[in-house]
A and B are shown apart, each in its own frame.
Chain A
């Protein structure tokens, strides 16, 4: 969108979000510094915290190629790296983030150094790579394939698929936790062998305690967002993703979440919304169009407030930890719980069960949303797979209508904000209609 259109803002953004930018820069700078100083550096997949804490406790600095995909996309470098990946013979339908990073790695290999034009100082050559069995196959195949360029060890922390047992008290959950603890133990062994030193479990526990505090605050912020009007827009959530995802061990992250909490609490108490007037409450799935976020201003102008979003990126719900758990059990329980907790919640509230799309179902009711916006991503099968199914369930069960917009995580040309805006009015009519239908059928909102 042209700059001149940017002047008027309709979303009341959080002031505390301004702390985030320097934290992101710090994260990337740390990676390059670690490599320059000869300290171990990992290229790591998002691992829902457990691997990060272990790596940090071992003195490893992780950097995250998935996040670097968004960075390269927003700086316009992704096109170049993807083209290099294509030239290396990888199919063009693969994950956009992986194509970006494989191209980046091939380029760095060819130059023998970090490409001088790499955004945020680039990512230095890794000591090892850490894949993850969570979420999609790409997240371990990608690093396996990269070994062709960087012949360093590749480890994968595996995981059970979480939410296929809707019986929350089933033994299988304890089996799964035991398996996950073993996965962490094996990973620690791997690191100890690779780096020639022992892990400091006290440090792991310190980090974990920090993380638990972050989760608690984060959770409470989410609870506050149920208020009408909703005090925090999805845009602020997305801004907070980097610290919430990669830095929960860090005191700075805890400080950040404190400040965010205070600000959101103050707004809630004063009845201030992120969008005024809040005519429609929307839920967004899953990753946003990073390059066109200003587009949400146009929707805010119409009174659209985005109150909850991106189910794969939220903290686990608070749980009472089993006494007698080891530190690793405690650590992995949180990661496990992030994908299972919503089933318990549904049972608690006597909601019907919908497996993988339970999150959306719960949220639609708890946040009382009027509409569900799905963003299907050309090169991310995982974030796109459930969307039609979830939309069907919400429509059938809760009379919440949905609208899809096509986009991609890297290729900006796919997303057409004008087309979505053109359809917005019709969607408002649909939301109005369904609001009446819900009332008629006796739903809560």
Chain B
């Protein structure tokens, strides 16, 4: 079955269930697929070079059988699973792969990927951890290197106008995603958290403009369909490490709660900020990717007091909670994620200060412990009620 006859929700569902489906079709048509990891490789540059970007993720449903010979088991299981799937040929449609130094595990895993997979194109984008004036200059240098590497590989130059055009294309998709998120400001929300995640993941596995068309269809469908997710007592926001499947959200939504908002990189973090128009378009890209993505991998200059620092680091979550009428926050992280792990006590303190119930849920990238997680979420919901 092809995706050509599918639209809206049905299309998102199909691509979510078979992530490489669209990419394989496109490859058969002669398009070039560029795999990327996490939310940091600038997609504008990738599409500007006529590559179709494809977000590489792991799978909770796939036992890790091959990667353990190259990666220890005490590191991020999502990364282990991603490498495992690649080594098993699940991403064999990709011509190249690009990662950024968003976290330490990624920096390291991409070298193992390079060695094991030997794709025609491979690039690593070094990026600062800190956001300072010189960090922007440094990051720009590294993005220019990325651009040059793709130019050398394809033999085609990427000019300013094309980058500007790509920025418009991606910003349009970002605006549509924000519009989609607005549908969950309603009570009851017009789509479920699980549906939303399916859509986000599908978007990352298909061409941008095609994704935008799908988004428009979905928004129309959601507005006109009668059977939305229905009434529930509690509205939750989900924070944390990446989710590669909807299982966790489905479990939460099988209880008396909606997930109406998120702060994860297969959600708002990936799409929220636009690239600003700047005379050198690369400057806008640099700013957006280095400082506007709110992943805890970034060290933000400390303000004069801890209170102020919390406000500057976490204030956006307060705004999300207010605008989406959130009753409680689920802080979730996969085990072995350092950048999220260190954030938990400070976040809990912050939410306590602003009077929002928050609970930390750690999971091991397996649904084996689902009953235990469910019990905790249920108890949390009883606390909020």
- Which of A's residues lie within 8 Å of B, judged by CB? 88-91, 93-95, 98, 131, 133, 135-138, 140-142, 144-145, 147-148, 151, 153-156, 158, 160-161, 164, 172, 175-176, 179, 182-183, 186, 354-356, 376, 378-379, 381-382, 384-389, 392-393
Contacts and interface: CB of A to CB of B under 8 A. Distances in A.
A389 B349 contact: no
B220 interface: no
Contacts of A164: 111, 124, 126
Contact of B342 (A133, A142, A355): A142
Interface string B285-318: 0000000000011010010011001000000000
Interface of B: 68-72, 74-75, 101, 103-105, 107-108, 111-112, 114-115, 124, 126, 128-130, 132, 134-135, 137-138, 141, 145, 296-297, 299, 302, 305-306, 309, 333, 335-336, 338-339, 341-346, 348-349, 360, 362
A141 B339 contact: yes
Contacts of B69: 388, 392
A193 B344 CA distance: 31
20 contacts: A90-B345, A91-B360, A94-B338, A131-B299, A136-B338, A137-B339, A144-B302, A144-B342, A147-B306, A151-B305, A155-B302, A179-B134, A182-B134, A379-B74, A381-B74, A381-B104, A382-B104, A386-B108, A387-B72, A393-B115
Nearest to B341: A91
Contact of A388 (B70, B130, B138, B309): B70
A332 to B, nearest CB: 13
A93 B341 contact: yes
Contacts of B342: 90, 94, 98, 138, 141-142, 144-145
Contacts of B111: 164, 355-356, 389
A89 B129 contact: no
Contacts, number: 146
Given A88-B345, A141-B339, A147 B309 contact: yes
Max chain B C-beta neighbours (<10 A), residue from A138, A161, A182: A161
A145 B115 CA distance: 35
B341 A94 contact: yes
Contacts of B130: 133, 140, 156, 158
A441 to B, nearest CB: 21
A136 B104 contact: yes
Nearest to A392: B70
A403 to B, nearest CB: 15
A167 to B, nearest CB: 11
A166 B53 CA distance: 26
A295 to B, nearest CB: 22
Given A91-B335, A153-B302, A182-B134, A161 B75 contact: no
Contacts of A158: 128-130, 132, 135, 299
A151 B304 CA distance: 9
A388 to B, nearest CB: 5
B172 to A, nearest CB: 33
